[in-house]
Structure 1
Amino acid sequence: IFGMLIYLCLMAEAFMGYLLPWGQMSFWGAQVIVNLFNTIPFVGEALSVWVRGDYVISDATLNRFFAFHVIALPLVLIGLVVFHLVALHHVGSNNPDGVDIKKHKDSNGIPLDGIEFHPYYTVKDTFGVVVFLAVFFAVVSFAPEMGGYFLEHANFVPADPLKTPEHIAPVWYFTPFYAMLRATPPMFGSAFPGVIVMFGAIAVLFFLPWLDRNETRSIRYRSKAFKIWLWLFVVSFVILGYYGIQAPSTFGTIMSRICTLIYFGYFVAIWFISGNEKTQPVPDRVTYK
């Protein structure tokens, strides 16, 4: 749960920071997202004004988004990370075999398959941080635009409320959910069903620990059906991300709808599969393979 709350906080942090350059794509991207609240019956219009702080995207919106992006959300994120570490310390981390190491302890009560946080985890995490920073600085130094996917070309143009871009697309890490929004047919002239699907795609991730009812904690010993559905889920998410960037098309809409069904179908499938799944025998101790 804490991991998903951190994910939501990062999404909000990214969205509010996206408006701050006040470029053409930032302005219209924020306009599209905030206008989604208009689709909510009865309270939509008032809610949109409340979020913007004005009837249109303006300085009031920019100032409040800046405050949330720089001060409020980072503090919330730090708090969530602390709670996440406390929860992780309480339940312990997993291992490749999904074995409960607390069942086998030495005379001092220390798990036989357990390892100390330092130097093992610190070295591992330090290596990951170094690799990330190497890639990060390589992108910042040599390809900050990344072909227009990281820094859109339209965002180098100052925001113009009187000129709508030909194609409005969110930043690449939001495109799978945006593709679901566009692929959902409107109902009674309202895009509210698409909003439900888009936010539902995020909300359903919160229920994953309860949807997967199998006690086996390692994918090594799960059934082929589970692995197939997991790969379908990953592939459909990548395809949705691709079509979320592209301009709307008939074929893209059809593919997005199919992948949206697969995305939600995964959560339905694991509910049935995990309850009747025949898994491979799980070892008593970590195999280190």
Structure 2
Amino acid sequence: MSHESTYVPKSALAKWFESRLPIAGMVHSSFIAYPVPRNLNYFWTFGAILSFMLIAQIVTGVFLAMHYVSDSKLAFESVESIMRDVNYGWLLRYLHANGASMFFIAVYIHIFRGMYYGSYKAPREILWILGVVIFVLMMATAFMGYVLPWGQMSFWGATVITNLFSAIPVVGDTIVSLLWGGYSVGNPTLNRFFALHYLLPFMIAGVVGLHVWALHVVGQNNPAGIPIKTAKDAVPFTPYATIKDLFATVLFMMFFAWFVFYLPNYLGHSDNYIPADPAVTPAHIVPEWYFLPFYAILRAIPDKLGGVLAMGGAIVVLAFLPWLDTSRVRSAAYRPLYRQFFWIFVIVCLLLGWLGAKPAEGGYVIASQICTALYFAYFLVVLPLLGLFETPKPLPTSILESVTKAKGGSGIPAGAAAAPSTKG
């Protein structure tokens, strides 16, 4: 399917501008006439939801930065001042703090959707790797942002996590010193984290641009996991995908607003409303909920270096998923055995998240070790072998056929067949 622009400027000014900077043509070809598979379900709307959340986080973050003071003696008070003295400061802070959780909820659904439908398979390897890079940048941004309120959990979370780098041979202590800006977590650390927390979202936006570019080069995957072959397999991005994206984003905003207005502190930790005190260690140091699965993997390994390598490996292994999965069939809809292993993997991830919030003692540690072994076995054992032995179901010959079989009709939206030129 061709992706060339069919945009034709109407006015003389539009023609003059388009001949010098073809922004309108690029927008038209990428977000209006761009052909998308006609069988996309609502799991494909999370890309738009994530774009909305990124913009919301950047906008609220910029306004919060206008009032925040990155000084270890004043940071906690400045956050309280934002809540009490700044007009709608409480709203900005709750939107930003809960927005981080909403961002991770959406990105985890986005990742699991990609894994279920095989969106990482050729020719989408670079697209998938860019997604993993975005995920890593998100984690770094969220961790540094959690430190900024300079409460008890912020301070001790920063102390525990930054200390992990000391386990790296040769360069570990140097990395820790660079992060701290001294010999312990303190004012230089806070200044570094504030600067990086402000910078990284713009880096994320840049990588998201590459991610969208790569998506438009190779085209979208779909629930059937088969490519667009004819004009009837696709519909224009606008209005079919845009209306669905808008509807899903509005529903997600309602879910987001429920936390902001009714449960603003539910996803946080009460200890962060206590000013940071280096002399008092919290009884149970835990990161934010979206880090808990990886925190459980870290604590499952008794050796410090081994734990750091396992935690890092749990993220890095995602980037190699296109080559670890040996099956030629993309979608789990046609892979009955893979589908069972996938849901077991999802349960394991949820269990790791639960275990990460528990004390590192007794049966919790043993359960974490079992789940960690199952997590890596999924990538390193199950996926490579499953593709060799699994017998998938017969694939439909086209996307249109998959739609008509599912709906028992033509599956053609009214007016879609009358606009073949918009699909290339």
Q: TM-score scaled by structure 1?
A: 0.92
Alpha-carbon separation, structure 2, partners of 1:145 and 1:274: 44
Measure how far apart 1:201 and its partner are: 0.4
Q: Distance in 2 between matches of 1:247 and 1:86?
A: 44
How big is the shift at 1:128? 1.9
Q: 2:292 aligns with which of 156, 170, 175?
A: 175
Aligned partners of 1:24 and 1:156 also within 8 Å: yes
Q: CA deviation at 1:241?
A: 0.3
Shift of 1:277: 2.4
Deviation at 1:63, TM superposition (A): 1.1
CA distance in 2, matches of 1:35, 1:90: 42
Give, in angstroms, the shift of residue 242 of structure 1.
0.3
Secondary structure of 2:164's aligned partner: helix
* In structure 2, C-alpha distance between the alignment counterparts of 1:169 and 1:5, rounded to whole Å: 24
Q: CA deviation at 1:223?
A: 3.5
Residue 163 (structure 2) pairs with residue 35 (structure 1): yes
- Deviations, residues 27-50 of structure 1 (Å, cap 9, x unaligned): 000110000011112221121001
CA contact (8 A) 2:152 2:282 kept: yes
Supply the distance in 1 between the matched residues of 2:280 and 2:361 (Cα, whole angstroms). Answer: 23
Q: Which residue of 2 aligns with 1:69?
A: 197
**Deviation of the 1:116 alpha carbon:** 0.7
Q: Which residue does 1:126 correspond to in 2?
A: 246
Q: Which residue of 2 aligns with 1:279?
A: 392
Q: Distance in 1 between matches of 2:200 and 2:236?
A: 32
- SS at 2:157's partner residue? helix
Counterpart-to-counterpart distance in 2, 1:44 and 1:98:
43
2:223 aligned residue: 96
Q: Secondary structure at the match of 1:112?
A: helix
The list of structure 1 runs, each at least 4 consecutive aligned residues, that deviate by more than 6 angstroms after superposition, is none
Name which of structure 1's ranges 274-283 and 194-203 shifts more when overlaid on structure 2.
274-283
Residue 75 of structure 1: CA displacement? 1.4
Deviation per CA, 1:145-203, whole angstroms, max 9, x where unpaired? 11xxx2211000000011111110111000001001111122xxxx1011000110010
Question: C-alpha separation between the residues in 2 aligned to 1:47 and 1:38?
Answer: 7
Written as runs of structure 1 = structure 2, the 5 A alignment for 1:16-165 is 16-70=144-198, 72-101=199-228, 103=229, 105=230, 111-146=231-266, 150-165=267-282
Q: How far apart, in 2, do the equivalents of 1:92 and 1:66 lie?
A: 37
Q: Distance in 2 between matches of 1:185 and 1:74?
A: 34
What residue number does 2:125 align with? none
User: Percent of aligned pairs with the same residue?
Assistant: 47
- Mapped pair 1:256 → 2:383: no
Residue in structure 2 matched with residue 108 of structure 1 by the alignment: none
Distance in 1 between residues matched to 2:325 and 2:244, nearest whole Å: 29
Matched, 1:243 2:360: no
Query: Match of 2:179, as an amino acid?
Result: V
Distance 2:292 2:284 in 1: 13
Structure-2 separation of matches of 1:275 and 1:4: 26
Unpaired runs of at least 5, structure 2: 1-128, 407-424
| Equivalent residue in structure 2 for 1:265, among 377, 387, 409 | 377
One-letter amino acid of the structure 1 residue matched with residue 254 of structure 2: A
Deviation at 1:228, TM superposition (A): 2.1
Amino acid at match of 2:345: F
- Deviation (angstroms), 1:112: 1.7
* Other structure's SS at 1:115 match: strand
Tell me the distance in 2 between the aligned counterparts of 1:136 and 1:53: 36
> SS at the partner of 2:136?
helix
CA RMSD in angstroms, aligned pairs only: 1.1
1:217 aligns with 2:344: no
For 1:42 and 1:215, the matched residues in 2 are separated by 42
Render the CA deviation track for 1:223-268: whole Å, top value 9, x for unaligned. 42x1222112111110010010112221111111110011001012
Amino acid at match of 2:250: V
Q: Secondary structure at the match of 2:346?
A: helix
Distance 1:115 1:5 in 2: 30
